[in-house]
Amino acid sequence: MPMSFSILADVFEKLERTTSRTQMILYLVELFKKTPPDVIDKVVYLLQGKLWPDWKGLPELGVGEKMLIKAASIALHVPESTIEALAKRLGDIGRAIEKIKAEKARGRPVGLLAFMKTSAGAGGLTVERVYETLARIAMATGEGSRDIKLKLLAGLLAEASPKEAKYIARFVEGRLRLGVGDATIMEALAVVYGGSAAKKSIVERAYNLRADLGMIAKILATQGIDALKNIEPEVGIPIRPMLAERHNDPVEMLKKVGGRALVEYKYDGERAQIHYKDGRVWIYSRRLENITHMYPDVVEMVKEKLKAREAIVEGEIVAINPETGELRPFQELMHRRRKKDILQAMKEYPVAVFLFDMLYHDGEDLTVKPLPVRRKHLLESVEKTDRWRIAEGIITDSPEVLEKFFLKAIEDGAEGVMVKAIHERSIYQAGARGWLWIKYKRDYKSEMIDTVDLVVIGAFYGKGRRAGKFGALLMAAYDPDTDTFKSVCKVGSGFTDEELDRLNEILKPYIRRTKPPRVDSQLKPDVWVEPALVAEIIGAELTLSPIHTCCYGWAKPGVGISIRFPRFIRWRPDKGPEDATTTKELFEMYKRQLKKVKEA
C-alpha cells in the first residue's frame, strides 16, 4: 500500500519542533504504526537523512545549492534570484521554497482547484515516489547527469506541497537536522514491533551485527521481533566494532579482566574490518565507511593469504617503513585518505596489517565465542607474511610482565597495549565499549591526562591578528544516555597558523544560527556548529567548572567537568560525533585523577 509523503513531512516538522526525546519517540511510534512494512526501510533511511547506509559506498545525491535553486526555479516558475534572495533572508533554501510555493498556491484562481489539491499534499506524493526519485538523482552519474538530476528534482518539487518541498530541499542539501539519533529510532521500533521499549536490546544487538537500520526495521516489520533474535553476521554487511575501556593501572586492569589476559600491542593506525567471500573483498573503517579502494595492496593480501571460503576478520592497518619493518606514525596513513592517485600513495606510504580478531568463519558466527576460540580460528586462517601479520601479544597474569610488555610496545612504536579478557564469557561485544577489552596508552605515562576526542559544537572569533576569523572552538563530550553533546571546554591553542586559516572552510558546512538539537551548552559561542567534527584534545588536568554542562552535578552540585589548558592535537576524521569521548569516560578519568592526587 502506498504511503503518503505528507505523513512523513508532518512528522519531520513535529520532530524538528521538539527537543524532548520522549516526545520524539512518541512521534516515531505514531509514524511507524502508519508505515506499511514494505517501505519501513526507506522511512528509516530518510529519518537518518540518507538514502542508504554509508558503507554501501553508493553515490551521494550530488546536488549543490546552485542546482537546488535552479530546480526550484523551474518547479515554481520564479527567477532564481527571487529564491536566492529569500533564502538569504530566511537563512534556509527549504523555507524559501516553502514560502514561495504557499503564496503561489494561495494566489491561484479557483478554476485550478484540482491542482491545488495535489499541491497541498492531499495524497499526491508517496514516500516510494520521493525515495525512488531521490535514488535516481543520486544514481545519475557521468555525462548528461546534471540535466537528469535537475529535471528529476524539479519534477519532485513541482509535485510536492509547500511543506513537502521544504523537507525535500533540506534533505537534498543534507540539512534535515531532525535531531533523532539511531538510538531513538531503535527505541521506537522496539515499542511498535516488540511491544515495549524493553525490547530495544534485541533491536540493538541485531543492528550491531548488521549495521543497516533500514534492513533491521524491515525484518522487524515483515518477520517480527523473533526473527531478529537469531540474526547472524553476513559477509559484506559491516559489524559495529567492539570498543575498549581505558585504564592505567596494570594490577587493576588484570583484576577487571578476571586475572589472566591476552595483552597485545595497540597499533596506531586505521582499524579495518575485512570481509571476504568467494574472491570478493570489502574493507570497512572504524566508522564503517567502505575504504576498500584505499587499500588495493591489502585486498591482494586478503585474496592470497586468508585461507577461508568466507570470513570476517579485524586488524589494524599501519604505515610502515618497508625497509626496516618499523611502524610509522598514524598521520602517514592519513595521506592515503587524501591522495587521489591511490597507486602512487600505495608506493609512498606502504602498510602492514596486524590482525587481532575473527568474527565469522565459513558459516560460523564467532562473535558469540570466547576470544581464545576466535583467535584459534584466526591463527588457522592466516598465512603470515611481513605485511600480513597477527598482532604481537602475550598471555599473562602478572602486572610486572604486563608493564614490561607495555614499555616494549611503546619502544616498538605502538601506542600502548590492549588488555583483553580470555575467560569463557569473553565474547565479541559488537557495538559496545566494555571491560572485556582495556586500552593502556602511553599518554597515561606523561604528566598530562590522556587525550580525549571531543566534538565541535561552536566557534568563537579571534582577536588582534586573528580578528574576523575563528580563533577558538567550543568542544563537547557525547552523552549516549540522553543522546546529547555536552560542553567541556573552549580550545584556542595548539593550532598551527595553517590549521587556524583552514577553520573557516572546515566549519562552514556545519555552522548554524541557532543552537542545534542535541547540543547542551550554557556557554554561547559566536556561532553554533552542528555536531559532526571530532578533534583530539589534551590538557593539563580535569577540573570542576561552573560553566560547562559535561557531567553536570555528578561530582558536586552545580558544577560540570572541564579541561584546564586544553590544546588541539589533531582532527580525527575517522571518528563520528557519537564516537567521541563520552561524559561517563570523562567522569571516570576525573575520579582516577582525584585518586592519584590523594595517593600522592
Stretch that binds ligand ATP, among 17-25, 79-87, 258-266, 478-486 (CB under 6 A): 258-266
CA distance 245 to 555: 21
Closest approach of ligand ATP to the CB of residue 535, in Å: 12
| Pairwise CA distance, residues 159 & 72, whole Å | 11
Q: Which of 70, 218, 266, 287 binds ligand ATP (CB under 6 A)?
A: 266
Q: Does 450 bind ligand ATP (CB under 6 A)?
A: no
Q: Which grid cell is 33?
A: 504504526
CB 175 within 8 A of CB 94: yes
Residue 520 contacts ligand ATP per CB under 6 A: no
Torsion sign across C-alpha atoms 271, 245, 205, 265? positive
Least distance in angstroms from the C-beta of 580 to ligand ATP: 9
x/- map, 347-386, ligand ATP, by CB under 6 A? ---------x------------------------------
Is 244 a residue that touches ligand ATP (CB under 6 A)?
yes
What are the cell numbers at 303?
585474496
Q: Which is nearer to ligand ATP, 171 or 444 (CB)?
A: 444
Residue among 21, 50, 240, 271 that touches ligand ATP (CB under 6 A): 271
Q: Closer to ligand ATP at the Cβ: 235 or 244?
A: 244
Considering only residues 42, 163, 240, 286, which one is a binding residue for ligand ATP as defined by CB under 6 A? 286
Residues carrying an active site annotation: 266
Helix (H) or strand (E) holding 265: strand 261-266
Those residues with Cβ within 8 angstroms of residue 58's Cβ, 6 or more apart along the chain or in another chain = 51, 52, 138, 139
Q: Of 218 and 575, which has the nearer Cβ to ligand ATP? A: 575
Of the candidate spans 6-14, 230-238, 265-273, 275-283, the one that interacts with ligand ATP by CB under 6 A turns out to be 265-273
Backbone angles phi, psi at 545, to 5 degrees: -140, 135
Q: Is 452 helix (H, G, I), strand (E, B) or coil?
A: strand
Binding mask 299-338 for ligand ATP (x = CB under 6 A): -----------------x----------------------
**Rounded CA gap, 511 and 528, in Å?**
6
Which range touches ligand ATP (CB under 6 A), out of 8-16, 135-143, 239-247, 501-509?
239-247
Cβ partners under 8 Å of residue 3, min gap 6: 34, 35, 36, 39, 43, 126, 127, 128
Q: What single string gives the DSSP state of each residue in 89-129?
A: HHT-HHHHHHHHHHHHHHHS-GGGHHHHHHHTTSS-SBHHH
- Choose between 96 and 359: whose C-beta lies nearer to ligand ATP: 359
Residue 181: CB minimum distance to ligand ATP, A: 18
Of 238-246, 253-261, 461-469, 474-482, which segment contacts ligand ATP by CB under 6 A? Answer: 238-246
| CA dist., res. 65 & res. 73, Å (int) | 12
Q: Are strands 484-491 and 519-520 parallel, antiparallel or unpaired?
A: parallel
**Binding of residue 243 to ligand ATP (CB under 6 A):** yes
404-423 positions binding ligand ATP, by CB under 6 A: 418
Strands 393-396 and 452-461: unpaired
Which spans of this chain sit near ligand ATP (rule: CB under 6 A)?
A: 241, 243-244, 264-267, 271, 286, 316, 356, 391, 418, 439, 453
